[in-house]
Amino acid sequence: MITVYGRATSSNVQAVMWAIAELGLDHERLDYGGRHGGTDTPEFLAMNPNGLVPVVRDGDHVPMFEAGAIMRTLATAYGSAPFWPAEPYERAPVDMWAEWAKTTACAAFTGPIFWAVVRTPKEKQDPGAIARAVERFDRVLAIAEDRLSKNRYLAGDDFTMADIQFGHILYRYFDIDITRPSRPALEAYYERLTERPAYRDHVMVSYDELKA
């Protein structure tokens, strides 16, 4: 049994839960973080000294933190090609695009756009800064648009872990109140993701409790 410590509205928890569901693993998720608290206790800090979610325990193995590391470990332990190939150079494109999604795409969206629009009171928002952030993020999305105009998924024609790292932010991107430039291939890709039951269950989750 895999235990996930983290609230359902955390985007990093959502990515991990989506991966666990796609891998078909038995699991339970416990509400930690945000309004649920629990991340500053000695017991939690012994698992993750950063005091952040998600944390994952897989049986008697060492507790894991950092969403990307958690997903790579679970995919290596339980996954297979094409989701997460065992052969290093077959896996490399998946790992590269997963890393790009985490360090480039997510970083350009979550703080500069999602937090600025959803988690900041209206009277404190900076419309100009938000517009510039959306423009910068669209330059990142242009890379994805090019990829997705040639492939069904980010790393190729098969669904992989790279799509979890990238796709988990798209529900919020397409849902929040911003002006989005047209990206036809990206929009078609997002529609494909919404057809996946695990995506609907773990990513397309209300974030009302996060609104300022």
Whether residues 54 and 108 share a domain: the answer is no
Is there a contact between 63 and 56 (Cβ–Cβ < 8 Å)? yes
* 3-state class (DSSP) for residue 70: helix
* Residue 48 · residue 63 · CB < 8 Å: yes
Cβ(189)–Cβ(195) below 8 Å:
no
The confidence score (pLDDT) of residue 39 equals: 98
* Any domain includes 134: yes
User: Are residues 100 and 48 located together in one domain of the fold?
Assistant: no
**Cα 181 from Cα 174, distance rounded (Å):** 11
Token pair for residue 177? Answer: 């109140």
pTM above 0.75, yes or no: yes
123 and 59 belong to one structural domain: no
Residue ending a domain, choose from 78, 109, 129 = 78
What is the per-residue pLDDT for 199? Answer: 98
Residues 72, 150, single domain; the answer is no
Contact by Cβ (8 Å): 101, 173: no
Instruction: Determine, yes or no, domain membership for 37.
Output: yes
Question: Quick one: pLDDT at residue 75?
Answer: 98
Residues 14 and 110 reside in one and the same domain:
no
Rounded (10°) angle between helices 11-23 and 67-78:
0
* CATH for 53: 3.40.30.10
Q: Which pLDDT does position 144 carry in this prediction?
A: 98
Domain range for 166 is 88-201
Say which CATH number the domain at 139 has. Answer: 1.20.1050.10
Residues 66 and 165 in one domain: no
pLDDT for the residue numbered 79: 98
The helix/strand/coil state of 123 is helix
Low-confidence ranges of the chain (pLDDT < 70): none
Contact assessment for residue 17 and residue 29, using Cβ atoms and an 8 Å cutoff? yes
Pairwise CA distance, residues 47 & 184, whole Å = 43
Whether 83 is covered by a domain: the verdict is no
Classify residue 186: in a domain, yes or no. yes
Q: What pLDDT, on a 0 to 100 scale, did the predictor assign at position 166?
A: 98
Domain count, the chain: 2
